[in-house]
Amino acid sequence: MVVVPSKMGRLNKRALVARLQRLGMASRADLAKSLGMSQPTAGKIADDLLELGVLEEVAEPQLGTGQGSGPRSRARLGRPGRMLRLDRSATRFVAIQLGVSETKLAALPLGADLEDRWAVTVATPGSAAQWVRQLRTAAGQIQGRGAWGVLVSVPGVVDEQAGRVLFSPNLHWTEKTDLKKAIQGVWKLPVELSQEERALALGHQSVEGETEDFLLVDFGDGVGGALVVKGQLYAGPLPISGEFGHTPAPGNTRPCGCGAVGCVETLVSTRGLLQSFRSAARRPEASWKDLTEAIAHEGAPGWLAQSLEAAAVVIAGSLNVLGLRRVVITGSLTELPPVVMEHLSSAIRQGAMWARFGELTVEAAPRRRTAGLVAVGLDRLVLPMTDRPRVAGGARRPGSGRSEATPAP
């Protein structure tokens, strides 16, 4: 296949930006070497991205300046050089996490923090009209001026290309709402939707930068997952994947928001775990803190062990089908005492074929949703691989001048 220069140029720009996402900061020479480019080519790409406002140039930190260590704060002896990093001086995206119980918002630069930091958190209401009113109020509390787009993490089955929620077991009003249009009534900007677990997987991939395939499973209001293969987020022919939570667990009779009975997420979601704990401890008002303290003092009780093993069966079965040997766990289970992850990991290994003759990795990781949303914005708005116009409302393309991110009246 012949790659036309314009496409090659986009690929090279995306490769350089992806490398900086993982390194945090690098010189032109280091980027050229790590990407296998000539220094003039890497320098030209960097200059183009600087002009667009995607990158910024900073002085290289010196040893002993107290700026940390590792690849994101690497220092050299001698006179400070000029280093490149993703721009951190200007807001480029408004990020929204539409969750079942909470909605969170933040204004993000391209060089977003490694850990999530949300500026505004409000309770998610029961209707689209109420939600939009909350967005209007929140818009005045975050610095969104100059943004290039709004990036939204959404639960459920999401058609990301069409920007629609097809089915949301725990937030049904989103199925009947044109979320993009509703959000553009608040911010006159392009809006991109990302299924929530896919955003988490992109965030983990962009920060950690591993080349090995992995399956990410997130536990929270629901249970879902996403798959990264050969460094790319897996996307099947249908917009449904990673719906681990809606696999039935034998003997489970709890009704689920999806309309079925016995889904595993009714056992291991935050609500499901609390329901089991309250019933077993006969403490109807017990909180998540109470559950955490009980596990810390008493270990994993029988009901918890059975729930974790039900989740492990689903995860191990997925690994066996996909042929993977690495699982990344994020969310509420990682916040509980270590015995919980230990029990889950052991149960996954018991069911996974790879563990019988090789090494299977099960690791806990923080949620990196904002990093994932920035990756979505870079991919779809800043450096898209298509020529389809991506700009709506009053916003302008990156590098074409000031964009209008003032909340709509």
Kindly list the domain boundaries of the chain, sorted by start residue: 5-86, 93-199+369-382, 210-364
Q: What is the pLDDT of residue 61?
A: 67
Rounded to an integer, the average pLDDT of 109-121 is: 90
Fold of 93-199+369-382: Nucleotidyltransferase; domain 5 (3.30.420)
Q: What is the pLDDT of residue 145?
A: 83
Asked if domains 5-86 and 93-199+369-382 share a fold, the reply is no
Among the residue ranges 59-63, 69-73, 275-279, 396-400, the one predicted with the least confidence is 69-73
Length of the chain, in residues? 409
Q: What values do phi and psi take at 326, rounded to 5?
A: -140, 130
State how far the Cα of 318 lies from the Cα of 213, in Å rounded to an integer: 13
State how far the Cα of 74 lies from the Cα of 270, in Å rounded to an integer: 39
Against a cut of 0.85, is the pTM above it? Answer: yes
Which CATH code fits 5-86? Answer: 1.10.10.10
Q: What is the pLDDT of residue 393?
A: 36
Strand boundaries in 82-240, DSSP class E? 82-86, 93-98, 102-108, 120-123, 149-154, 157-159, 164-167, 191-195, 214-219, 223-229, 232-233
Q: What is the pLDDT of residue 62?
A: 59
State how far the Cα of 115 lies from the Cα of 208, in Å rounded to an integer: 12
- From its phi and psi, is residue 401 left (phi > 0), alpha (psi between -120 and 50) or beta? left
The architecture that CATH gives domain 210-364 is 2-Layer Sandwich (3.30)
State how far the Cα of 275 lies from the Cα of 142, in Å rounded to an integer: 36
